Amino acid sequence: MTRARRRAARSPRLVWSLAICVALFIALIVILRRDATPMLDPSMLRVAQARWYESQPSNYTIVLRKKIDGQSAEQIRTTVRDFRVVDMRINDVRMDSVRDSYTVEGLFDMIEREHEMASASTRASGQPVNATLKAKFDPETGIPVEFKRLASQRSFFLTVEKVHDPQGGPIFPPPRS
């Protein structure tokens, strides 16, 4: 067998081997990038709320990142004193009117409303179609550390970056030992 024939005989095996390696590499990437956030379960929400309310601090600052499809991510910092919002900043710009939507309690309320809308038999105006809700709660404090509304249009993502008590220090993430 000549050299050219041997090379031609090896070529299909090489192509197949390369194709298999590429397929395995793509499969590995898909598996590693898979969203591991659990589906929202109402009982999981109730347990998390109970955990938060049993040790809820009266003073804290929460920093979270909010992302809505087609918009830039926003960092929201809300300061709570004596259970009331006293300061709210979006991307470090102080808001004149403060809302409790981005307190821990406000996040629980928002998640409950999203669940009610997603499970309603009739769709309200502006409500995303076929939304999938996912949430992750801190096992120690109950804080909703991740919330995702996945929809074909208007997906929404919230991630709590930190919660800090001015008297007691970090609440979430917990301090490293």
| Mean pLDDT by groups of 10 residues along the chain of 177 residues | 59 72 62 74 95 95 94 96 95 89 96 88 74 94 95 89 94 83
Q: How many CB atoms lie within 10 A of CB 94?
A: 10
Q: Among candidates 158, 54, 153, which has minimal Cα distance to 101? A: 158
Q: Strands 84-90, 169-172: parallel, antiparallel or unpaired by DSSP?
A: unpaired
pLDDT score for 9:
56
Please state whether the peptide bond connecting residue 173 to the residue before it is cis, i.e. omega within 30 degrees of 0. Answer: yes
Which residues are 133's β-sheet partners? 149
pLDDT score for 99:
82
Q: Is 10 exposed, middle or buried (0-12, 13-18, 19+ CB in 10 A)?
A: exposed
What's the whole-model pTM score? 0.78
DSSP state of 123: P
Supply the Cα-derived Rg of the chain in whole angstroms. Answer: 24
Lookup: tokens for 3 = 């050299």
pLDDT score for 152:
80
In single-letter form, the type of residue at position 103 comes to: T
Asked if 124 and 137 touch (Cβ cutoff 8 Å), the reply is no
pLDDT score for 79:
96
Asked if 76 and 64 touch (Cβ cutoff 8 Å), the reply is yes
In degrees to the nearest 10, what's the CA dihedral of 117, 120, 123, 127? 10
